[in-house]
Amino acid sequence: MCAGVVLMALRMPFRYLEPTFFAGLLDDPVLWVRVRPWGRALLFDCGQLHHLAKRTLKSLAALFITHAHMDHFMGFDTLVRHVLVSPRVFDVFGPPGLAEKIEHKLSAYDWNLNERFWCTFRVHEVFSKHIQRWLFPGPQRFSRQPDGTADRVDSIVYSNQWVRVEAQQVDHHIPVLLYRITEQLTFGLDADRLTASGLSGGPWIKQLKRQFYKGLLGKEALTVRQAQGKRESFHVVTDTRRLYEAIRKNRVPSSIGYMTDLGYSGKNEATVADMLQGVTLLVGECAFLADHVEKARQSCHLCTQDMNLLLQKIRPAFYLPVHLSKSCGEVSQNLYQELRPPAGTKLIHLPERLLPRPLLPCEVRLGS
């Protein structure tokens, strides 16, 4: 097992997601989110990756990069090393310009020993209005090829039957992506709403469930049963999506917000509030302590007083502060005194580092 803070141990109400933070408070960030029924994982930023086992990295399905500053992106080479001979496509999401940076990374190596079963990277550059895709096929020595463009109709950039990932840009003097990972709701009907609508059970519920899981809601008609006393009647419903919305259980899905490397501004605050409000778990940068506010402003990062204001807007159930600047390392525990989460938000503490730091010369003892 790799070293990491397994956040599930804190009894969070996730059905499918198992988040683990594989970095200490001062380490380069790595958020690993395993999707349990799928057996595969999503990775958010790849800073300090070298301690993750090959078998762990091979279960990756998609990588989500916030931006290409070195502390968030340098682990990409480690990832390539471990998944190289997997005959699969790995999706990589990131801000505009990421494909060119990946092209430069991959072209820094000789690939003359390539094999036809090597992996392919599919890079998705997330613009505000569209997504530009590029392929880097291993069998073709990772040479970059265009793979089309898709208009964005909403903030979702990735989804399957268990999870969806949304992304929006914020400002860090360069574009940075803010991510929200949300569990997909399971099929469920509310008995009271069903009765109020005059509908009663029958084979149509099984068919509606099939439409829900196959993505066919609103695309196929359905014959439903109504019953009043001993009289029953049957009706054809064409808009089955509307039907489901009218009788489904009202549940709020659990979610994770991943927010790092952004400055404190009105525009960033509005995007953060819009995207992350009410997440179950916020994994969020707090780069500086309050007396380093000038450094935070210069480098377009957040300090504790900024984070306290944002927490009032987001109101997560759990908050894990990450990515504290090493310049605050001497007094890192002050972070937990300066942070003032709102009532209802539990603050999670991290060790400074997950891996031991090298010994200082004064700590080395010679044997006699």
Told to check if 295 binds Zn ion by CB under 5 A, we report no
* Stretch binding Zn ion (CB under 5 A), from 127-135, 235-243, 258-266, 312-320: 258-266
* Stretch binding Zn ion (CB under 5 A), from 23-31, 68-76, 207-215, 358-366: 68-76
CB of residue 189 to Zn ion, shortest distance in Å:
46
3-state secondary structure of 97: coil
Distance CA 23, CA 40 (A): 20
* Stretch binding Zn ion (CB under 5 A), from 1-9, 67-75, 120-128, 290-298: 67-75
CB of residue 66 to Zn ion, shortest distance in Å:
8
CB of residue 61 to Zn ion, shortest distance in Å:
25
Q: Comparing C-alpha atoms, which of 292, 305, 316, 302 is closest to residue 339? A: 305
Give, in order, the Cα–Cα distances in Å from 343 to each of 7, 272, 316.
20, 19, 10
Kindly give, in sequence order, each residue whose CB lies less than 8 Å from that of residue 311, ignoring residues fewer than 6 positions away: 282, 319, 339, 340, 341, 342, 345
Orientation of helix 203-214 relative to helix 240-247, angle to 10°? 110
3-state secondary structure of 148: strand
Size of the site for Zn ion (CB under 5 A): 2
Residue nearest to Zn ion (CB): 69
Residues forming beta bridges with residue 40, ordered by sequence position: 35
Of 90 and 93, nearer to Zn ion (C-beta) is: 93
Of 166 and 261, nearer to Zn ion (C-beta) is: 261
* Stretch binding Zn ion (CB under 5 A), from 5-13, 64-72, 147-155, 329-337: 64-72
Q: And the tokens for 228?
A: 């009043």
- 36, 69, 295, 340: residue in contact with Zn ion (rule CB under 5 A): 69
Told to check if 261 binds Zn ion by CB under 5 A, we report yes
Residues near Zn ion, by CB under 5 A: 69, 261
